Amino acid sequence: MNDLSTNWNATPQAGVGRRLLTRLTGSGVWRSVFRHGWIRTNRDRALTIYSNVFLHIHPVKVRKSALPFRVTFCLGGLSLALFIVLTVTGILLMLYYHPSAPRAYEDMKDLEFVVSSGVFLRNLHRWSAHLMVITVFLHMLRVFFAGAYRPPREFNWVVGVMLLVLTLLLSFTGYLLPWDQLAYWAITVGTNMAGAVPWVGDEIRFLLLGGNTIGENTLIRFYVLHCVVLPLGIVVLMAVHFWRVRKDGGLARPL
């Protein structure tokens, strides 16, 4: 027991609830996980943040002047929320989807006709993806017009641009997975654009397609990119992004 909980010792006057809470936050299991008791002082608040991997990217204090809607338009938060929706629906969709040429389109049809709420799931994923691209763009515009890319936030602007690119790439790779005509030709056009890069264009195109034309190799490549590589990358960059918001002086506030 450390001294963090001493001033929370249950007194005979304390109610049953308070006594239970004190007992819970004082237990060995609680302490092994959270390392601190009930929050009462600013120090407790700081400790909570410092000792938690999820919370430590969040500022200990947020100024009220940074919170009004017209300052942030919640665009970053909306993007994160949509990303979470996409992750959840995406994982559920992965349960029904085979990234193989003969099955991919048939799985779309099964989602449409026989999977419980399959249409809902797929449409939710699709519309969230469209919305995320939009909110990420608007977020960038907001940051730009607010001049929030200026030092000391210049590195976070760069991270933000990388996140934008990753968001677009996630949309692009997901576009192929339904394996219909729209998907096929969109990826044909997209990879041909990559092929137009001077000197190494053909190599990039070959790398993306896993061959010279769209086929099973392309499908599996895009599937792995869409479900593993790009989401991992975006999560890591998002962590850096949020952490830097705090480190660079907090949310949307003139320095």
Binding site for other proteins (CB under 8 A): 102, 106, 109-110, 112-114, 116-117, 119-120, 180-181
At its nearest, how many Å lie between other proteins and the CB of residue 120?
A: 3
CA distance 45 to 85: 29
- At 3, the amino acid letter reads D
Nearer to other proteins, 85 or 237 (CB): 85
Q: Would you say 93 or 245 has its CB closer to other proteins?
A: 93
Distance CA 30, CA 46 (A): 18
Could you tell me which residues come within 8 angstroms of residue 165 by beta carbon, excluding any fewer than 6 positions away?
Answer: none
Between 34 and 120, name the residue whose CB sits nearer to other proteins.
120
Among 119, 117, 99, 124, CA closest to 109: 119
38 vs 105, which CB is nearer to other proteins? 105
78-81 long-range Cβ contacts below 8 angstroms, 24+ apart: 78/131, 78/135, 79/132, 79/135, 79/136, 79/139, 79/167, 80/238
Q: Closest separation between CB of residue 117 and other proteins, Å?
A: 5
Closest CB to other proteins among 32 and 181?
A: 181
Residue 100 beta carbon to other proteins: minimum distance, rounded to whole angstroms:
13
Q: Minimal distance in Å, beta carbon 248 to other proteins?
A: 29
Give me the least distance between CB of 173 and other proteins, in Å please: 22
